[in-house]
Structure 1
Amino acid sequence: MRLNLSACPPFSLWAVVESHGWARLPPFAVDRTTGVIARIERLETGQVVELLIQEAVGGVTVEVRDQLAGSEREEVSRKVWWMLSLGEDLAPFYALAREEPKLAHVERRALGRMLRSPTVFEDLVKTLLTTNTTWAGSIRMAEALVSRLGDPLPTDPSRTAFPTPEQVAEATEEELRQMGLGYRAPFLAELARRVAEGELDLEGLKDNDRPTEEVRRTLLGIKGVGEYAAASLLMLLGRYDYLPMDTWARKMVSREWYDGRPVGREEVEAAFERWGRWKGLAYWFWDWSPWGERP
């Protein structure tokens, strides 16, 4: 089965894939020789399938080597549409970026979309796995969580889908610790329980009509989510009002504008304040090449 999905131009699948590190965490897998991004996905019916996504003229094609019912086809389309931000119109951001030499490359390379997971739950869990650790540690934790708790692909049981909140909630805190999650284990256990029991509606955070401040308060009210994690999640939700500020951001701003002198939150905020609701994207795709790679 093959689906054809259109994207708001300009669009580059690889710009989305390389926007940050999610493509290197399971259940995503990238084949750069064929230009395919694959993902093992559990559908609402319980069927586990492999999605093979490839760039096409004006958007992407999605191939699934299984027979799908009409509702399952709609679900796959909806999930890929969200993951790749196919409907996001970045024209206002590009118009501003044209006036800034450090962002002159973004429209030409169709930068601006952030690869995200089909669910806010998965993005939140992965964000927790990236805090206070190395990238190698994040990969190990994600691999352990997905391989031990996710449903297997019938044709290749070694490949598994991201676990549902219910599946994570069934694991004990000790079992989560044994997966290497450390101090995150109780946070993840409580998060999964709240979502599984309907106490916390994470998918409702996708509603663009909700004020950003309200969404941010909800995120900050989740144990384990601090200001950096909340800002990162807001960007994945298409809200760029806040900067995911860490030591790397302070170091780059220090070198770019302050001759290497130490700076704090105020200086970083001031550097991107003029970008308004686009400041998160301006920071993320700024040309930091004189000082090192972007975050």
Structure 2
Amino acid sequence: MGAQAAAEIRAGGRFGRLPPGADLPRAGALRITPLPPNFRLSSVTLSHAASGLGPSCFDVDHDAWHRVLTLPHAGALTITVHEPAPEPAPEPESLAVTWGRTPGEEADAAAIRRQVRHALALDEDLSGLYAAIAGETGLAWIAEGGHGRLLRSPTVWEDLVRALAATNASLARTRTMLAELTDRFGARGPAGERAFPEPAAVARAVADEGPEILRDQAGWGYRAGPLALLAQRVDAGTLDVESWRPNAPPASPASLASPRLSDDEIAAAIRALPGFGPVSADLMLGLLGRPRGLALDTWARARVGEVADLSGPADDRTIRARYARFGPWAGTVCWLEITRGWTEW
């Protein structure tokens, strides 16, 4: 998937399918501030392939991110996020968020702010990463460019489904599976946009028609069983994946007394899910605001070999040795090195 994503990004234009409603005349707007130092929208939205997977799209030529959100009153709504042109007078850096119809409640604007800040990891503390690479002249570009934030989905549920769809699949195949799931089970907005489906919608469809609806009609093949089980467990409340974020609010008063899981415990919990393995767990740690694992697949090994000027793909032992000095941030530094060209066009 990595090679395909890199090729599409370098080709310019739209990375992903433009959601309906993104081209409507602007009817609503807000600004999001403060931003982290040296923040660049593209360094987050192109941090991995997520921005090119529905219901999300990044316009490389115009540096604009389009995303369908689920709001408490307006329901499914396509928003566009971009960095505004500098004002004549100095003003705090901000992001401009616009949309094509006006949500009728203040709660919707608050939800937009909250979901955009979360998706762009605006409140994530990267001081540990920058401390780990301090003095590494060849990596100075990471802190100088504000790199290290990974684009997230509004929910951990969605990120897990995306990781499942990406396992042993090409970018085109992953995109098709997620588009089918969204188009079939996602809430529909007035402009025709579809939000990413809630676990309840998927679980209900499986209960009514069996996992065949995912396997055959939505095209998920052998992944249908793991997806159905994940949706059922999350919907029933027997698996609280949203609590895996380090600063997630407690799901209930009873969970206040529950100890927060460590990174290793979270990785083990992900690997225990049907259909998920070590690479998925490594990827998910970063999306959960935790130090990312190395996530060594064929493409990553080949890219490390290129970055390290080897004659071929790097083996796992060589990769671990190369990044060991960065401690828990080894996987993040590795990923930033092998995807550096994605955000520089």
* TM-score normalized by the length of structure 1: 0.89
Which of 143, 150, 159 is residue 123 of structure 1 equivalent to? 159
Give the superposed CA RMSD.
Answer: 2.4
Which of 43, 48, 51 is residue 20 of structure 1 equivalent to? 48
**What is the match of residue 137 of structure 1?**
173
Q: Could you tell me which amino acid in structure 2 is paired with residue 170 of structure 1?
A: R
Residue 61 of structure 1: SS of its match in structure 2? strand
Q: Number of aligned pairs?
A: 290
Which of 146, 155, 162 is residue 182 of structure 2 equivalent to? 146
Residue 81 of structure 1: SS of its match in structure 2? helix
Q: For the structure 1 residues 176 and 254, does the alpha-carbon distance in structure 2 shift closer, same or farther, using more than 3 Å as the test?
A: same
Report the Cα distance in structure 1 between the residues aligned to 2:43 and 2:304, rounded to whole angstroms. 24
* Pair 1:184-2:184 in alignment: no
Residue 58 of structure 2: SS of its match in structure 1? strand
Instruction: Report the CA distance between 1:33 and its aligned residue.
Output: 4.5
**What is the match of residue 234 of structure 2?**
195
Report the Cα distance in structure 1 between the residues aligned to 2:93 and 2:330, rounded to whole angstroms. 27
Structure 2 spans left out of the alignment, 5+ residues: 1-27, 85-91, 248-259
Kept in 2, the 8 Å contact 1:187–1:224? The answer is: yes
Report the Cα distance in structure 2 between the residues aligned to 1:69 and 1:288, rounded to whole angstroms. 40
Q: For the structure 1 residues 121 and 258, does the alpha-carbon distance in structure 2 shift closer, same or farther, using more than 3 Å as the test?
A: same
Report the Cα distance in structure 1 between the residues aligned to 2:106 and 2:277, rounded to whole angstroms. 40
**What is the match of residue 4 of structure 1?**
31
Q: Deviations over 1:85-112 (max 9, x none)?
A: 1112324423443532442322232221
Q: For the structure 1 residues 7 and 262, does the alpha-carbon distance in structure 2 shift closer, same or farther, using more than 3 Å as the test?
A: closer
User: Residues 71-220 of structure 1 correspond to what in structure 2 (within 5 A)?
Assistant: 71-154=107-190, 156-157=191-192, 159-172=193-206, 173-177=211-215, 178-208=217-247, 210-220=261-271
Q: Could you tell me which amino acid in structure 1 is paired with residue 133 of structure 2?
A: A
Residue 153 of structure 2: SS of its match in structure 1? coil
Instruction: Report the CA distance between 1:260 and its aligned residue.
Output: 3.4
* Pair 1:265-2:265 in alignment: no
Give the percent of matched residue pairs that are identical in Structure 1 and Structure 2: 34
Greater mean deviation of Cα atoms: 81-90 or 224-233: 81-90
Q: Could you tell me which amino acid in structure 1 is paired with residue 148 of structure 2?
A: G
Which of 68, 88, 101 is residue 40 of structure 1 equivalent to? 68
Report the Cα distance in structure 2 between the residues aligned to 1:257 and 1:4, rounded to whole angstroms. 41
Greater mean deviation of Cα atoms: 137-146 or 71-80: 71-80
Q: Deviations over 1:39-59 (max 9, x none)?
A: 112224472222221224523
Residue 81 of structure 2: SS of its match in structure 1? strand
Report the Cα distance in structure 2 between the residues aligned to 1:285 and 1:25, rounded to whole angstroms. 20
Q: For the structure 1 residues 163 and 288, does the alpha-carbon distance in structure 2 shift closer, same or farther, using more than 3 Å as the test?
A: closer
* TM-score normalized by the length of structure 2: 0.77
Kept in 1, the 8 Å contact 2:30–2:96? The answer is: yes
Report the Cα distance in structure 1 between the residues aligned to 2:73 and 2:230, rounded to whole angstroms. 23
**What is the match of residue 250 of structure 1?**
301
Kept in 2, the 8 Å contact 1:9–1:58? The answer is: no
Report the Cα distance in structure 2 between the residues aligned to 1:9 and 1:293, rounded to whole angstroms. 20
Report the Cα distance in structure 1 between the residues aligned to 2:122 and 2:271, rounded to whole angstroms. 28
Report the Cα distance in structure 1 between the residues aligned to 2:59 and 2:338, rounded to whole angstroms. 27
* Pair 1:62-2:97 in alignment: yes
Instruction: Report the CA distance between 1:137 and its aligned residue.
Output: 0.7
Q: For the structure 1 residues 117 and 271, does the alpha-carbon distance in structure 2 shift closer, same or farther, using more than 3 Å as the test?
A: same
Instruction: Report the CA distance between 1:272 and its aligned residue.
Output: 1.0
* Pair 1:222-2:250 in alignment: no
Greater mean deviation of Cα atoms: 280-289 or 75-84: 280-289
Residue 30 of structure 1: SS of its match in structure 2? strand
